[in-house]
Amino acid sequence: MTASPLHLMDAVPAHLPGPVVQFTDVRKRFGRVEVLRGVHLTIARSRITAILGPNGAGKTTLIKCLLGLTRPDEGMMEVGGRSPALEPAARAAIGYAPQAPRFPDNLPGRRILGMLESLRGSPGVGADPIFGCFGLEAELDKPARTLSGGTRQKLSLALALAFRPPLLILDEPTAGLDPVSSGHLKDRLRQERAAGTTVVLTSHLLGEIEDLADDIVFLLDGRVRFRGSLRHLLAITGEPRLERAVARLMVMEGGR
């Protein structure tokens, strides 16, 4: 294992519509702390890619740079050749579910959905089956302040998925979900991948990543230390499970 990441072959048929996500020398510093130290990364289209790393490795900052929420000091991020940070219209290709979603206290989910529909110019997405799978129909008319943490999480995921964007970015998507909803989410993500959607997710639940992800990106101290398929990661570390493989990677890279 070397410091430079393994290059991944994009083995997905060319007709699938998911975009390639490209990071070029992305650097970000918060005060004295350099969170991203020159990230070069290509995320293959129409696959599920999990970004892993210990706390403070830069996972959320990397995602926020891609979404345009955080401005990098240097570097470029592109989704299908366009920059979501610089071109607001390019963000129509992205569905995003944050780690701890909150909505305006006084408004019901249906009003929030309606607002996103009007901003994205995509009416009628409320008919998407994901709302039924998550049991959200009855919750959509209640003010958001009355929703539990898990229901807010489901609403946030449904809002990201229902627009059927070609790129999904999910930050800890199953944290707070009950096992049934978690199962529905995984099924839906597999369907999305089959339809050509590119999925990027972060999670601390490694069993879940093993279950879902095609590719792994391992971040440590603001740099990409591994990029490749899950199978390849297990092969080069000689470990049978992802949890042990990640621990081995950290030892190999001199991390914590």
Partner 1 sequence: MRAAVRILRFELDDVRRSRAVLAYGLLLLTITEAVLRFGGGGPRAVVSLLNVVLILVPLVSVVFGTMHLYGAREFTELLLVQPVGRGSLYAGLLGGLTLPLCLAFLGGVGLPFAWHAADGAGSGAPLATLLGAGVLLTVVFTGLASVVAIRFDDRAKGLGTGLLAWLALAVVYDALVLFVITAWGDYPIEGPLTILSLLNPVDAARIALLLQLDAPALLGYTGATLSHFFGTAWAFVAAALALTAWTGLPAWAGWRAFRRKDF
Smallest distance, partner 1 to C-beta of residue 218, A: 24
Smallest distance, partner 1 to C-beta of residue 233, A: 29
- Residues 211-250 binding partner 1 (CB under 8 A) are none
Token pair listed for 126 = 């409320």
Coil, strand, or helix at residue 151? helix
Cα 240 to its chain centre, rounded Å, is 25
Token pair listed for 46 = 């129409």
Backbone conformation region of residue 158, classed left if phi is above 0, alpha if psi is from -120 to 50, else beta: alpha
Coil, strand, or helix at residue 45? coil
Site membership for partner 1, residue 90 (CB under 8 A):
yes
Amino acid at site 57? A
Smallest distance, partner 1 to C-beta of residue 249, A: 29
- Residues 30-49 binding partner 1 (CB under 8 A) are 30
Smallest distance, partner 1 to C-beta of residue 23, A: 17
- Residues 140-159 binding partner 1 (CB under 8 A) are 143, 156, 159
Q: How many whole angstroms separate alpha carbon 156 and alpha carbon 47?
A: 22
**Span interacting with partner 1, options 81-89, 174-182, 189-197, 215-223, rule CB under 8 A:** 81-89
Q: Which is nearer to partner 1, 61 or 237 (CB)?
A: 61
Backbone conformation region of residue 170, classed left if phi is above 0, alpha if psi is from -120 to 50, else beta: beta
Site for partner 1 (CB under 8 A): which residue of 18, 53, 58, 98?
Answer: 98
**Span interacting with partner 1, options 9-17, 87-95, 178-186, 201-209, rule CB under 8 A:** 87-95
Q: Are 227 and 6 in contact (CB under 8 A)?
A: yes
Q: Are 16 and 45 in contact (CB under 8 A)?
A: yes
Smallest distance, partner 1 to C-beta of residue 70, A: 4
Q: How many whole angstroms separate alpha carbon 226 and alpha carbon 4?
A: 7
Q: Which is nearer to partner 1, 110 or 244 (CB)?
A: 110
Site membership for partner 1, residue 252 (CB under 8 A):
no
Token pair listed for 247 = 């621990």
Site for partner 1 (CB under 8 A): which residue of 2, 15, 31, 106?
Answer: 106
Q: Which is nearer to partner 1, 42 or 70 (CB)?
A: 70
Q: Are 95 and 161 in contact (CB under 8 A)?
A: yes
Residues at the contact surface with partner 1, assessed by CB under 8 A: 30, 64, 67-71, 84, 88-92, 94, 96, 98, 100-107, 111, 115-116, 118-120, 143, 156, 159
